[in-house]
Chains A and B, each alone.
Chain A
Amino acid sequence: MGNIPLELFGKTLKNPVMNASGTLGYGKEIEPLWGVETLGCYVTKGLSMKPHHGNPLPRIWEEKCGMINSIGLQNIGIERFFREYFPFFKRKKTPVIVNFFGFTEDEYIGCAEMIKPDKQIVALEMNLSCPNIKKGGIGFGKEAETVYEIVKNVKTVTKIPLLAKLTPEVKNIVEIAVAAFEAGVDGLTLINTIPAAVVDVNKRTVPIKGGLSGPIARSVALRAVYECSKAVPIPIIGVGGIMDVRDALAFLMAGAQAVQVGTATFLDPYTIPKIIMELREYLDVNNYADVKNIIGITHDQ
């Protein structure tokens, strides 16, 4: 059997497959079907310093080959997550990446300070797609200088490895990746949802503006992974439209060290365990002793 464990920031993950933040609830919800210990690593729903109630309805809309969501980052806050859910991941010996966000730079820093190092925590994943209230709603992740500054400041308050999760809504994502790298980030998660809107032709309204995910986002995400993994020497986690093992392989071959699966779980709740199993089969059939051997293989062309 091909080897699929992965070394990430000094921790060993069983396999390189994770859920995407915000698409596997608080983890326990999937238990009636399969357990979180199946994952290489569980990624938390986006957490904030205080509980956040999220957006009014509608929060989801269907598109051809994808969906738009406007959940608005509803979450119970860092404190309650660590009290009510973290012990469950400890018990199940499942590594965790903590996704967090803020609406001001101080809130980002506050979150990073609140999360104490623990051998089960692999990394913090900062969601840089939030609107910056002070700057009138412009996303934190859109300007290289802002990204540089916020990463640098968050790095000073935490010893836990830091991942920056970037938005694709930028002029040049490589430039943003380089800024994050120069500020000392330990890895990147690419990409967050793509800003999108819906028009209801019957009602002549725009019922929802939100983030696009699913297969429709895949080629955008693949390009980001491919270009950024050539530009910066830090681990990249690929996410966006991964529906099956072929999609996961494409991200690994494009240069991702690990992949995250989001929307696919809504269509088939067994997508993640299937991808893990089939990834192992693929390595076997193709005589790869280690998953490392296919990571970034397209770069050698």
Chain B
Amino acid sequence: MVDTEAQIIENKNIVLDYFLLKLKLAKTMGKIMPGQFIMLKIPGNEVFLRRPFSIYDYDKDILTVMYKVVGKGTEILSKTSKDNSAFVLGPLGNGFRVNKRDVYLTVAGGIGIAGIHFLIKTLKEKASVFFGCSSNIETTLLKDITHLNPMISTLDGSYGYKGNVVEMLTNYLETVENVDQELFICGPEGMLKSLKASINKSKISCQALVEERMACGLGLCFGCVKKTIDENEPYKRVCKEGPVFDLWEISL
């Protein structure tokens, strides 16, 4: 783990509010696990705390983050130009554990693709990709994984399955029985909730990447907790014990 200065080498609007940020790190972060994240210091003085972002891609000293503009910090970030410097703390948290399976199902909703992209890249052809978004415009986000033939759902029906990604996935799961498979999911809380309600715990294991507001990202402040079913420790830190949890162990 390092806290290192980084140079912004690219900050590109991909589509709608989605951006791709490439950073050149002054020090390499070492080995990372898909699903791990960084705490990024947004350049400028208006944002007090750092912001957490998943590692979208990483190679030696080049780190890529995909982000969506949702508020003050990401707005400022989207206007930050090339050659600006920033601070990157990482890699943080526990990522996805890739147990030996026949089939890996990766599921993302919207910007959730940012959290699961590096896992998809690591699994290569072994990954089945399910992606849910609003309309065909967002399918651009999958540009570098089209060779994996992602299954896409759009809410407006402008591309692929019409409806949400959880429906598309459960339909798919009904067609495959007795397969040694594991689910990896990243998306809004509502999506995790509906997935939990529609799949069978005894039949399928599922690792979910969850998000919470963070101050330190290191497990120091206990600000980022998620409620779990563990009665002894009902609040676990997303940044330290997570951000990837067993879907069946968290209360949504």
Contacts and interface: CB of A to CB of B under 8 A. Distances in A.
Interface stretch (B107-115, B190-198, B212-220): B212-220
B225 interface: yes
Given A59-B222, A60-B215, A266 B49 contact: yes
A71 interface: yes
Contact of B219 (A25, A59, A62): A25
B137 interface: no
A64 B48 contact: yes
A237 to B, nearest CB: 19
Contacts, number: 88
Contact of B222 (A32, A58, A63, A71): A71
A53 B1 CA distance: 29
B47 A62 contact: yes
B68 to A, nearest CB: 18
Nearest to B49: A62
A261 to B, nearest CB: 12
B215 A69 contact: yes
A60 B221 contact: yes
A212 to B, nearest CB: 12
Contacts of A23: 216, 220-221
Interface string A125-147: 00000000000000000000000
Contact of B235 (A53, A58, A64, A214): A53
B205 to A, nearest CB: 26
A67 B220 contact: no
A53 B89 contact: no
Interface string A1-45: 000000000000000000000111100011011000000000001
A57 B221 contact: no
Contacts of A66: 48
A217 to B, nearest CB: 13
A62 B46 CA distance: 11
A74 B222 contact: yes
Chain A interface residue number, banded: 35 or more
A54 B215 contact: no
Contact of B49 (A22, A29, A74, A267): A267
A117 interface: no
Interface string B180-221: 000000000000000000000000000000001111101111
A67 B246 CA distance: 31
Contacts of A62: 47-49
A265 interface: yes
A267 B50 contact: yes
A25 to B, nearest CB: 4
Interface string A50-89: 0101101111111111110101001000000000000000
Contact of A33 (B1, B47, B49, B235): B1
B36 to A, nearest CB: 13
Contact of B216 (A63, A214, A265): A265
A300 interface: no
A53 B46 CA distance: 33
Interface of B: 1, 3, 41, 46-50, 87, 89, 212-216, 218-225, 227, 232, 234-235, 240
Given A54-B222, A60-B214, A67-B215, 12 more contacts: A22-B221, A23-B220, A25-B221, A33-B218, A59-B225, A60-B224, A74-B225, A263-B215, A265-B216, A266-B216, A267-B49, A268-B87
Interface of A: 22-25, 29-30, 32-33, 45, 51, 53-54, 56-67, 69, 71, 74, 214, 263, 265-270
30 contacts: A22-B221, A22-B222, A24-B220, A25-B219, A29-B219, A29-B220, A30-B220, A33-B218, A45-B222, A53-B235, A54-B222, A56-B227, A57-B225, A58-B213, A59-B213, A59-B222, A59-B223, A60-B49, A60-B214, A60-B215, A60-B223, A62-B49, A65-B48, A67-B215, A71-B221, A74-B222, A265-B220, A267-B41, A269-B89, A270-B3
